Structure 1
Amino acid sequence: MANIRSVDVDVEDGSAWVQVGATLGEVYYNIAEKSRTYGFPAGTCPTVGVGGHLSGGGYGALVRKFGLAADNIIDARLVNAKGEILDRKSMGEDLFWAIRGGGGGSFGIILSWKIKLVPVPQTVTVFRVNRNLEQGATALVHKWQNIAHTLPRELFIRVFMGRANTTINASFQTLYLGKSKELLNIFQSKSDFVTETISETGLKGIWNRLYEAEEPQIIFSPYGGRISEIGESEIPYPHREGYIYEIQHLAWWDEGTIEASNKNINWMRRFYRYMAPYVSKLPRAAYINYRDLDLGQSRNGTASYAQARAWGVKYFNKNFERLVQVKSKFDPDNFFRNEQSIPAVPA
């Protein structure tokens, strides 16, 4: 699919057809070539492919202003199990719903997406503030939890945390859709608070566990704004109202041995267990684009409904049931499958 990568921007229509082999960086570049006042709300990693990113939802730095990438898909071209090429009209609204956040590899082969471009100012403000433990990082991260999801939706502040020699560093990476002078006024006036946060004691427990790995990283990404306004069943991605931020935990290592892999994977699993009291429950939610095979997996894509539900409700909550219905209708023979695909059930 890497050779199917054209990006056709229509400024007058405020849309673009994007083939799935294009990267996010190529999409952003092509939009910027045609317009200084349009953008698209997708991820921040420029080498990520459009096909899978949008299939799983697509979280990015404009999410608080415009929602997920998948919230801004207006058409698609797909090859179904019969080899037919379908667009939104010919595939119908059920299948079109499922492919916008239901995960790749379950319903067909996406060839291209038609995306809705979003208005952005010609001037934006980007900056980063780094603080270590000795500079008060724990208190700052604790306060970030209270305010990040309540700030104006033009403001996105993400926190990256990891080891820095003998201390922990927190990097507050910020995007504001506007000029820096406007941003100063926001910081002076905003003081909303909520209670669903990790305590400073809990954060110190996170720091202790970061010391156990060689190159760990924890990312807190805020919710609030547009992503939280959209109903949880509008597309398959359900994690909306009530969430204040998302956590991504990673471990990096250069040594290519089984021992090194096991050491870092085991650290990730211990950290995941430690976080259980602080995160969502019943189910413990997960993001399909950060696919986690520890939640369960299918051998050769043949999991039963009961087996697939173990991970399906964590990714999709109540939307899992509708995804199963769509799968059973449009791919009853389970032609499209993977380790965590949506199962088809007999009629």
Structure 2
Amino acid sequence: MFLGDASTLLTVLNRRLPELGLVRYVCTETSWIQSVLFWTNIRVGTSEIVLLQSNITVNYIKRKSDYVHEPISRTGLESIWRKMIELEIPAMAFNPYEGMMAKISPTATPFPYRADNLWKIQSYVEDTRHGEKYFDGNFERLVEIKTRVGSGNFFRNEHSFPVKPYFNI
């Protein structure tokens, strides 16, 4: 997601990463509130009123964040993608921090640790290893039940079973 219009995105990316070959027709401009729908797995274009409905299922997942201080080479990125395919990790998000963010003083925001970081990488953390051992083969079944029946609450216990992310249901 780029916070700006498609023309600016095309200008920046085609100047700095021309090998991507980004073209206008693959860019979708949308409002911030419509991007909330996208990140909630609701089709962009749906009325924002749907966010006020209490029957929206919220799935909580555990993510891992890594802060990048030096650019990752093309070979490095290809290695990351191969590993993602091998481990069947469906998504990884890169949050850029350089550019305009670098011009803002670290004391001017409640986000001071971003000064020397180029970007943050977020990925889904597989949290089943402990559960599989502890529940002796029943862990997947219990997670499936929790996802279908009680994914919107943690049964008042944040250490309860995790739920499956949207892309696994």
Regarding TM over 0.5, the answer is no
Higher strand share: 1
Based on CA coordinates, which of the two structures has the bigger radius of gyration? Answer: 1
- With a CA cutoff of 8 Å and minimum separation of 6, indicate the structure with the bigger relative contact order: 2
TM-score class, shorter-chain normalisation, is: 0.3 to 0.5
* Superposition TM-score, scaled by structure 2 size: 0.33
* Superposition TM-score, scaled by structure 1 size: 0.18
Higher helix share: 2
